[in-house]
Chain A
């Protein structure tokens, strides 16, 4: 029993890990394809049919580039920066439920790596840790532009974490649990999705997720017009690749978290009326979940090629003077509505 459990989790972790890496890899291609689509051009189409070998070519190129560690850099922290960035990006997907149970023979397999009862907070903690990768890399480069990028990343992520946490509190008042598994299970079907009861919270959460992933319009840490390349100015070869890769993995994981928390995760409309067996519903559910994730990734890219970058003071004003008061108002509003509902319905 015990070995079977370990093998089951090991296989699941491997699948999730490989999927994460492949999706992050193809997000780089998708980003350029979407850019091409938005700007009415083709995008990369030379490597293989429709350019599908492009990420492999990029990866190979990263490995064969010369690796430079600047003479004035702090060597161990310079290496630790991208390492922390990629590790924190990869471990954050551990608590996401990818689907319901699969029954193979007489074994029931949960499609979730770890169901801990403080699941959301775990994701938050790991995201909060991710900023160390950027800060250490930027500081260890011993370069003014890198340092500016690192400092921007730190202050940005701390400011937006507050609004993000407050928007989650309102959601938790509705769901009454911190476990992501239970939150997704509550949103069965279509009308129970949390987006219908927490629209304002969702908008705040999405905005903060963009800021936490350092995506446009919040990509000030790597603002190339002011800071050369921001925190990764001095990085070359695969270390730069790892930074970019961790950004795409973060984008994938935050898309997964958003669809799990607000858009029902693996639930899809009419799932209980189709009369299918449990295994089929699980498989369709996993596909539906990935469809939602891809829709969110497309949304991330759509915004990138639509909006210009914020100025730094605008970024701080948005975080502290608009999002935080809105999130607090959302908490109060949710509290009042819950009270009225419990008393009079």
Chain B
């Protein structure tokens, strides 16, 4: 349990670092470390497949693309637009409202009696596969169609318009 609190502390610490550092490349690197602590959380939950997929997809692919874009943009402190006091005030109020909402919903959840899994090995890859392809086949297929749609949309957006029109 103390290990969990330590990792949870690290997650929150690095997540705060993501939004407080000035340099965007540092932000992305802190985000990578935050995702790494999530991977450790999944391993603590005995969800090895989820852990390694989180590792590959988020740390290995998505964050590399983030870093890629940021390196091309080459953002500096000078190019960062100055935000007006009004925007800052609105941001603070909105953030506080979100915090109150989250705190309220967590209180309703009754964290003090956690759900005990019937099968602690549910996160291993063969159990997960059986559940996904037997019990939840329809939602799984539908989410794959959703991903396909997103992919087609991305290709369409990236495609250049033919010049002769």
Binding site for B on A (CB under 8 A): 77, 116-118, 121-122, 124-125, 127-129, 131-132, 135-136, 139, 147, 150-151, 154-155, 157-158, 161, 178
Contact B68 A121 (CB under 8 A): no
A125 touches B125 (CB 8 A): no
| Option from A128, A132, A178 in Cβ contact (under 8 Å) with B56 | A128
Most buried by A among B25, B49, B56: B56
CB distance B59 to A128 under 8 Å? Answer: yes
Complex contact A131–B64 (CB within 8 A): yes
A316 CB, nearest partner CB in chain B, Å? 13
Q: Which chain B positions have C-beta within 8 A of A161?
A: 60-61
* B15 CB–A CB distance under 8 Å: no
Taking CB atoms, residues of chain B closer than 8 Å to A122 are 52
Instruction: Decide: A118 and B64 in contact? CB cutoff 8 A.
Output: no
Which of B52, B59, B72, B124 contacts A151 (CB under 8 A)?
A: B72
**A125 and B67: CB pair below 8 A?**
no
Instruction: Determine whether B65 belongs to the interface, using a CB cutoff of 8 Å to chain A.
Output: yes
On whether A135 and B56 interact (CB within 8 A), knowing A117-B48, A118-B49, the answer reads no
| B53 interface hit (Cβ, 8 Å) | yes
Given known contacts A127-B60, A132-B67, A139-B71, what 19 new A-B pairs fall within 8 Å (CB)? A121-B49, A121-B52, A124-B56, A125-B52, A125-B56, A125-B59, A128-B56, A128-B61, A132-B32, A135-B64, A135-B68, A136-B29, A139-B67, A147-B71, A151-B72, A155-B68, A157-B64, A158-B64, A158-B65
| B55 contacts A135, C-beta separation under 8 Å | no
Chain A to chain B: the 3 pairs with minimum beta-carbon distance, closest first = A128-B60, A125-B55, A121-B52
- Residue of B25, B60, B71, B72 near A125 (CB, 8 A) is B60
Residue of A nearest to B70 (CB): A139
Number of interface residues of B (CB under 8 A): 20
Query: CA A95 – CA B68 in complex, angstroms?
Result: 30
Residues on A with C-beta less than 8 A from B72 are 151
Main secondary structure of the interface of B (DSSP, over half): helix
Instruction: Return the contact of A118 from the options B25, B32, B52, B71 (Cβ within 8 A).
Output: B52
B71 touches A135 (CB 8 A): yes
Main secondary structure of the interface of A (DSSP, over half): helix
Instruction: Say whether A178 contacts B61, CB under 8 Å.
Output: no
Residue of A nearest to B68 (CB): A154
Q: How many Å lie between the Cα of A154 and that of B68 in the bound state?
A: 7
Distance in angstroms between the alpha carbons of A118 and B29 in the assembled complex: 26
In-complex Cβ contact of A129 among B53, B60, B68 (8 A):
B60
Q: How far is the CA of A326 from the CA of B93 in the complex (A)?
A: 53
Query: B51's closest neighbor in chain A, by CB?
Result: A118
CB distance from B145 to the nearest CB of A (A): 17
Q: Chain B: which residue is nearest A116 at the CB level?
A: B48
Residues of chain B with a CB closer than 8 A to A127's CB:
60
User: What are 19 residue pairs bridging A and B, where the CB atoms are less than 8 Å apart in the complex?
Assistant: A117-B48, A117-B125, A118-B48, A121-B49, A125-B59, A128-B60, A128-B61, A129-B59, A131-B60, A132-B64, A135-B68, A139-B25, A147-B71, A150-B71, A151-B68, A158-B61, A158-B64, A161-B61, A178-B125
